[in-house]
Amino acid sequence: MQKFEINSPLDMHLHLRDADMLALVGPLTSKSFSGALIMPNLVPPVTTKEALLSYKDRINEACKGDGFEPFMTLFFKNDYSYEFLEEISEHIIGIKLYPAGITTNSETGVSSMDIENLRPTLENMSKLGIPLCVHGETNGFVMDREKEFMPIYESLAQNFPNLKIIMEHITTKDAVELLDKYENLYATVTLHHLLITLDDVAGGALNPHLFCKPIAKRYEDRTALLTAALEAHPKLMFGSDSAPHPKHKKECCGCAAGVFTAPIALQVLTDLFEKHKKLENLNAFVSLNAQKVYNFKAIDKKITLIKKDFTVPAFYEYKNETVVPMYAGEILPWSIESIEK
C-alpha cells in the first residue's frame, strides 16, 4: 500500500481552548504534530506573562509525552511597553492582533486599525523582532472583509519594514497576490479554505460545521489558495485554524464560527497533495516553511501515512459535550499508520 512520510508537521494557527475542551482537543493535535502556534483568544484573552505561562503549562499537561511544542502568542494590545515585551519575548513566538469583535472572543481587540493607534506596540515588537499575526478582516460586507483589509496590510508592511507580519488564515486571491508584494508579509492558510467555498456553507443546505471566519469565498479564491499551497509558496504556512465548539453551539440558531479539523488535517492534506501530484511539496508547506519564517528547529517527529481508509469519528466526547469534526462520519482515503518521535 502507498505510504507517505511527513516530518515534524507544524500547525501555525490553532485554537486549543481551555479546561475540558483543551484536554480533549490538545492530544488530537499534539500526537501527530511537532508543534503549533496557539491562539490567545481565551476569555479573558492572554495579555500577561502569568496568564501566558499558566496557559502554556495547561497545554503541556494536556499534551504531555507527545513530543509537542506549543508556540505561545500574546493577545495584541496597543500599549504593551518595551520592557514588558522584552521580558516576555523569550516565551512567545508572536503577538496576535484582532480587530475588536471580528470573531470568537475578540471583543477586547483593537477598536481602530489606524496605524498611529497601533504604533507604540508595533514599534516595540519591531525592535524586539516579535512577529505580528493578524486576523485581517474589516467589519464590512462578509464577502469583502478580507479584501477590504488589504490596504491595512500594505500600510503595516510599509510602516514597519522590519516587522514580520503574518496574514492569518487567508481566504482570497487578493491576499495571495499581496504575499509577493512586500518582503515582510507572510501568511497561513487553513485546510478548509483549500477545500470549500461559500457554496459548501450556504449553497445547498446551510452547513454550520463549515461556517467560519473569514467565511469561505469564491471558486477563484480557493484556486489561488490551493495553487500557492500545492507549490509550497515559501511565504505560506499551514495553519489549520482548527476551532472546536461544542456541538450545541454549532447546530443552533446563532451558530458559532469555526471548523474543527485537527483530527483529519494530515490525512486530508496528504490526500489533497497526492490528488494534485504535489506530495513532494507537502513537507515544505506543513513544516519547513514555518521553520524558516519563524526561524526555529521543530521537534523531530515522523508521521507515516498509509493509503488505507480512515473513518472520521462522527463526534468526539468530553464531559457532557460533543465536538463534531469536519468530514464527520465520512471515509477518507489516507490514515496515519505510525508516529515516531
**SS3 sequence of 308-328:** CCEECCCCEEECCEEECCCCC
Q: Which of 57, 177, 183, 199 binds a second copy (CB under 8 A)?
A: 199
Task: Answer for the pair 204, 229: CB distance below 8 angstroms, yes or no.
Answer: no
- Indicate the residue among 219 and 231 with the shorter CB distance to a second copy: 219
**Smallest separation (angstroms) from a second copy to the CB of 200:** 10
Q: Decide: is 43 part of the binding site for a second copy (CB under 8 A).
A: no
- Indicate the residue among 78 and 207 with the shorter CB distance to a second copy: 207
199 tagged catalytic: no
**Smallest separation (angstroms) from a second copy to the CB of 204:** 8
- Indicate the residue among 19 and 206 with the shorter CB distance to a second copy: 206
Q: Which of 209, 235, 245, 301 binds a second copy (CB under 8 A)?
A: 209
Question: If DSSP codes are grouped into helix, strand and coil, which group holds residue 148?
Answer: helix
What torsion do the CA atoms of 163, 288, 69, 294 make, to the nearest 10 degrees?
Answer: -10
Q: Decide: is 329 part of the binding site for a second copy (CB under 8 A).
A: no
Among candidates 168, 170, 169, 85, which has minimal Cα distance to 122? 85
For residues 266 and 260, what is the distance between their CA atoms, to the nearest angstrom?
13
Among candidates 236, 326, 250, which has minimal Cα distance to 286? 236
* One-letter amino acid for residue 239 of the chain: G
**Smallest separation (angstroms) from a second copy to the CB of 321:** 16
- Indicate the residue among 218 and 292 with the shorter CB distance to a second copy: 218
Annotated binding-site residue? 15: yes
Q: Decide: is 255 part of the binding site for a second copy (CB under 8 A).
A: yes
For residues 239 and 23, what is the distance between their CA atoms, to the nearest angstrom?
20
Q: What's the angle, vertex CA 296, arms to CA 86 and CA 271, rounded to 5? A: 130
Which residue in the list 241, 271, 300, 309 is annotated as catalytic? 241
For residues 34 and 298, what is the distance between their CA atoms, to the nearest angstrom?
6
**With CB under 8 A as the contact rule, which of the stretches 10-18, 53-61, 198-206, 309-317 interacts with a second copy?**
198-206
Task: Answer for the pair 247, 321: CB distance below 8 angstroms, yes or no.
Answer: yes
End-to-end CA distance of the chain: 23
Q: Decide: is 257 part of the binding site for a second copy (CB under 8 A).
A: yes
Annotated binding-site residue? 16: yes
**Residues facing 166 on adjacent strands:** 133, 186
Contact flags string 104-143 toward a second copy, x per CB under 8 A = -------------------------------------xxx
Q: Decide: is 197 part of the binding site for a second copy (CB under 8 A).
A: yes
Q: Which of 252, 276, 311, 317 binds a second copy (CB under 8 A)?
A: 252
Grid coordinates in use for 164?
A: 514580520
For residues 17 and 243, what is the distance between their CA atoms, to the nearest angstrom?
8
Annotated binding-site residue? 248: no
Q: Which of 10, 46, 256, 323 binds a second copy (CB under 8 A)?
A: 256
Q: Decide: is 211 part of the binding site for a second copy (CB under 8 A).
A: yes
For residues 181 and 150, what is the distance between their CA atoms, to the nearest angstrom?
11
- Indicate the residue among 53 and 255 with the shorter CB distance to a second copy: 255
Task: Answer for the pair 4, 283: CB distance below 8 angstroms, yes or no.
Answer: no
How many CA atoms lie within 13 Å of 278's alpha carbon, on the beta-carbon side?
Answer: 17
**Smallest separation (angstroms) from a second copy to the CB of 255:** 4
Write the DSSP symbol of residue 91.
Answer: G
Task: Name the binding residues for substrate.
Answer: 15-17, 41, 135, 245, 257
Which sequence positions are flagged as catalytic?
A: 241
Task: Name the binding residues.
Answer: 13, 15-17, 41, 96, 135, 169, 241, 245, 257
Residues at the site binding a second copy, with contacts judged by CB under 8 A? 141-143, 197-199, 201-203, 205-209, 211, 215, 218-219, 250-257
Task: Name the binding residues for Zn(2+).
Answer: 13, 15, 96, 135, 169, 241
